[in-house]
Structure 1
């Protein structure tokens, strides 16, 4: 079965009825609202739903779009808006990272060896992808969409004044796989174009790649002068970066060529000139690091520290964690020598190498310096924390008769209650790749059953049996809701797309004002995240992370494996205190729930 053979045969994402989404929306937001807020929300939902009302008009437009020839999914315009339409910076706010597992004993440890091995693995993966030799992912017997793999190599986000675009292969402008033969390597803020495939398309050997990377280290030994590392501009808010990019292109013809080198490169390799002091520093540097040694718009950036530790930073607009997990597993599941041999690599001498140089005037240099300072301050104003449980994992949860994800999500809610004194809107990303062009669905975690569970845990008079029953009810509801999301039965993205249709086509459709539903306490409260959670289970990664999504949100990225449970937390520095308390309460909550469930099973 070839990689993309099944794409057009996958079932379409089901479009929910308007009634179903409105009913679910009311149920999902209700636990977070007062009685008055619920009543106000219900009244506006009724107005939205009335015959001839705005909801009916917008739903009819969406149904018509979904039935249009060439449209893969009713979400086809939603995803570009959601990711490419955001106007704030993507560095730290949208990109995500994985910290790879350390090399096994006997495997390459030096920076150059590790980087060369990762390049060889990526080139091998691209060769297989180009020939469609990578079998489609199948989960529980169900084939998954593979289309995101088309955005792993040579894909770059291009900033726009109002909405960004993507420059990538497999498009009308660039049909078929990428024909690029080069990568770009960053070192000390200097940028180099390095060919990893020879003139005939044959990959360079590991020795060749190592020689090329050592040549980069030598040529880039002097840190780039302040105001010359253009990568800093990719940390700016999108419209500002779009204007700066136009200024770059207009200033000198060489700049357009330099941008072309970076944007068409297969991927970035960022050689860091320091070794992180600990795991948390490694994670922080993978998330944001030195903007001058990054190109945050590039789909894939492999980052290798001076001590050989490594990870990946990913631009999120076309790539979700599940696709990057498969790519990471492929990179790390075989030795570099095996990748090199399998790809047909051979020694061809030192790879073609040249600096990528920009011509800058005083105004552009000032802009680079300003972007660098602003992003350094933004990073300093972000608080993070790693939390590791090396004595708890999915095996433990299953042995206690609980869904592993439900167990940890309930622990998050209990910890949040104890850290902040209340529950709050919680987002969990649910993969939906079993649908054509499927990506993720937005699950809202707080349910009446979770409220009752937390109340029982906080009630000194509640018996262990009462608490266990409340846990089981809440966990069962969590699993049921996750299954609904996987089945496309979730309200948020559906209602959000109806709002976007009103923005785009309201005048044409006669819905000239934003429907009041989108200003209700229910809509605003349900989507105001206190916790934003997502998981990435793979033996090949130690940590996964992303920035928080609002001024009081804690980003919770977790790796839950059979024998361990690792989290990376992030929040604005101004609310770092509650995040630290949340982390401490989470440790207590996991231990408490383990004891509660274990004593129940022994009593049975």
Structure 2
């Protein structure tokens, strides 16, 4: 079966009923509310659900949209709003990274191998040879793979767009033959495919990268590295992009080179001091050596360590995991051979140059300075459990994800003195154009479990029973989310319909439900969590989502468990306390559950 053959036969994302989503919404927010807050929220849900209430009108509009010819899913307008509609900076706030497993290859050899692997993956993708992913016998959507190569986010004043192949403007796979390589703040267009479409050999690629480093040996002036502009808030970057185009005709050609490039490669002239610094550099390292709007940017440090920074609007972690596994489980030489690469001499190479006036130079420098400050106002840390992984959790008779999520909640209670709204990303790629569902982790079972654990009078049996009950609720809710039976995105889309079409539909004011303690509390993240299980990566990471949120990106493997935490600098101490409490919670829960398995 070819890569995209089954897309049209996948089931549609189910549209929940209004009653089901409202019922779940009340149940999901209840553990975080006081009695008065619950009562106030329930009253507004009742009003929302009235036969003549706004919920009925908005749901009818959504049902009509879902049934419209050409619409793939009731989420077709939701996803562009959620990702392309955000107006803050995407660098650090939205893009995510993977730190790849270590290699003993030197920098240029490592970079050439990654290029060869990516080019081979594209060749297979173009020919439909990447087999569709199947999980537990269920085929998954592969459509995100169309946004791996030559895909670039384009800033807009109101909403961004995506420039990509497989589109009306560019039907079929990308025909680009080049990548863009960054070194010391300069950009270079480097051909990785020859004139006849045959990939360059590994030796050719290494020669090309060495040529880039020679040509870019002199660091570029900060105010000439236009990549800094991609760190700006989106409307500001959109205006700056228009200024670039108006400044000189050559700038349109430079943008064309970048936006159509298969992907970017950033060669760094330093080696990170440790793993955490490597992670930080992958997430928000800049120095003019990034184009954060590019779908894929490989980053290779001077010591050969490497990873990837991913623009999130069309790509989720599951797709990048499959790509990474394909890239790193096969030797570069084999990728090169499979792709039909051959020696063709030094690849075509030319600098990507922008013509800048004084105002644009000042704007580039200002963007660089502002992003440096923004990065410095972010606190991060890594947490690693070398003696714990999914096998250990399974040996204790519990779902690995339930174990770690319960540990997160216990640690949060102990670090901050209370529970808080927690987001977990759940993949829904078994549906047509499926992406993710928003799971809210704090259940009544988790609330009760934490209370029991914090009560010194409770015995082990009581604590174990509370843990088991909470874990069962967690697994059950995750399965509901996998099946699209979750309230948040549904109710959020109804709110967005009111914003877009309220006057037309006669719902001229935002329904009060969206100002209730339940809605506001449930969506005010204290923890934002997502997992990326692959033996080919060491760490996965993203920025926090609010002024007090801790972002938790975790790699949970059979034999290890690694986390990257991020939070605003103002609450860095709380994050570090949380990390300590988490180490203690994992050890405590392992001890709590172990005797039960041994007959204690």
Q: TM-score over 0.5 for the alignment?
A: yes
How do residues 528-567 of structure 1 correspond to structure 2 at under 5 angstroms?
A: 528-567=524-563
1:187·1:217 contact (CA, 8 Å) conserved in 2?
yes
- Corresponding position of 2:170: 174
Alignment of 1:216-295 (within 5 A): 216-295=212-291
Deviation at 1:226, TM superposition (A): 2.2
Q: Structure 2 matches for 1:339-378, cutoff 5 A?
A: 339-378=335-374
Secondary structure, in 3 states, of the residue corresponding to 1:539?
coil
Q: Does 2:64 match 1:59?
A: no
What is the alpha-carbon distance in structure 2 between the residues aligned to residue 316 and residue 346 of structure 1? Answer: 34
Specify the alignment match of 1:212 in structure 2.
208
Q: Deviation digits for residues 323-377 of structure 1, max 9, x if unmatched?
A: 0000000110111000000000000000000000000011000000000000000
Matches within 5 A, 1:327-406: 327-406=323-402
Task: Identify the residue that residue 93 of structure 1 maps to in structure 2.
Answer: 93
TM-score normalised according to structure 1 size: 0.99
Q: Distance in 2 between matches of 1:470 and 1:205?
A: 59
Does residue 1:187 correspond to 2:187, yes or no?
Answer: no
Shift, 1:290, TM fit: 1.5
**Is the contact between residue 291 and residue 375 of structure 1 (CA under 8 Å) also seen in structure 2?**
no
State the SS of the aligned residue for 2:223: coil
1:142 to 138, 145, 148: 138
Does the CA contact (< 8 Å) of 2:190 and 2:349 recur in 1?
Answer: yes
Matched with 1:572 is 568
TM superposition shift of 1:26: 0.3
SS of the residue corresponding to residue 97 of structure 2 reads: strand
Q: Does the CA contact (< 8 Å) of 2:422 and 2:529 recur in 1?
A: yes
- TM-score norm. by structure 2 comes to 1.00
**8 Å CA contact retained: 1:233, 1:368:** yes
Query: Residue 274 of structure 1: CA displacement?
Result: 0.4
Structure 2 residue 497 is the aligned partner of structure 1 residue 501: yes
Alignment partner of 1:310 out of 306, 312, 317? 306
CA deviation map 1:75-121 (0-9, x unaligned): 00000000000000000000000000012xxxx61110000000000
Shift of 1:599: 1.4
Partner of 2:157: 161
Partner residue, 2:410: 414
**Two-structure CA RMSD over aligned residues (Å):** 0.6
Distance 2:218 2:547 in 1: 38
Moved over 4 A (4+): none
Question: How many residues are matched?
Answer: 600
SS in 2 for 1:218: helix
User: Aligned equivalents of 1:417 and 1:551: distance in 2?
Assistant: 18
Query: What is the alpha-carbon distance in structure 1 between the residues aligned to residue 138 and residue 597 of structure 2?
Result: 34
CA distance in 2, matches of 1:511, 1:249: 41
Report whether the alignment pairs 1:114 with 2:117: no
Distance 1:396 1:550 in 2: 33
Which string of whole-angstrom CA distances, capped at 9 and with x for unpartnered residues, describes residues 247-292 of structure 1?
Answer: 0000000001100100000000000110001000000000000151
- Which residue of the other structure, out of 456, 472, 475, is the alignment partner of 1:476? 472
Do 1:21 and 1:490's aligned partners in 2 also have CA atoms closer than 8 Å?
yes
For residues 211 and 52 of structure 2, the distance between their equivalents in structure 1, rounded to whole angstroms, comes to: 68
Distance 1:352 1:380 in 2: 38
- Stretches of structure 2 that go unaligned for 5 or more consecutive residues are none
C-alpha deviation, 1:194, in angstroms:
0.3
Distance 1:161 1:49 in 2: 36
C-alpha displacement of 1:52: 1.9
Alpha-carbon separation, structure 1, partners of 2:27 and 2:515: 17
CA contact (8 A) 1:40 1:520 kept: yes
2:28 alignment partner in structure 1? 28
Asked if residue 424 in structure 1 is aligned to residue 420 in structure 2, the reply is yes
Q: Is the 8 A contact 2:445 2:473 kept in 1?
A: yes
Once residues 37 and 414 of structure 1 are traced to their aligned partners in structure 2, the CA distance between those partners, rounded to angstroms, is: 24
User: 1:169 aligns to what SS in structure 2?
Assistant: coil
**Residues of 2 paired with 1:169 and 1:325: CA distance?**
21
SS at match of 1:293: coil
Partner SS for 1:292: coil
Rounded to whole Å, the distance in 2 between the matches of 1:203 and 1:110 is 22
Structure 1: unaligned runs, 5 residues or longer:
none
Tell me, yes or no, if the aligned pair for 1:235 and 1:291 is still in contact at 8 Å. Answer: no
Distance 1:153 1:550 in 2: 31
Preserved CA contact (<8 Å) 1:96 1:544: yes
- Mapped to 2, the partners of 1:521 and 1:292 lie a distance apart of 43
Which whole-Å CA distance do the structure 2 matches of 1:247 and 1:290 have between them?
Answer: 22
Is 2:114–2:332's contact at 8 Å kept on the other side of the alignment? Answer: yes
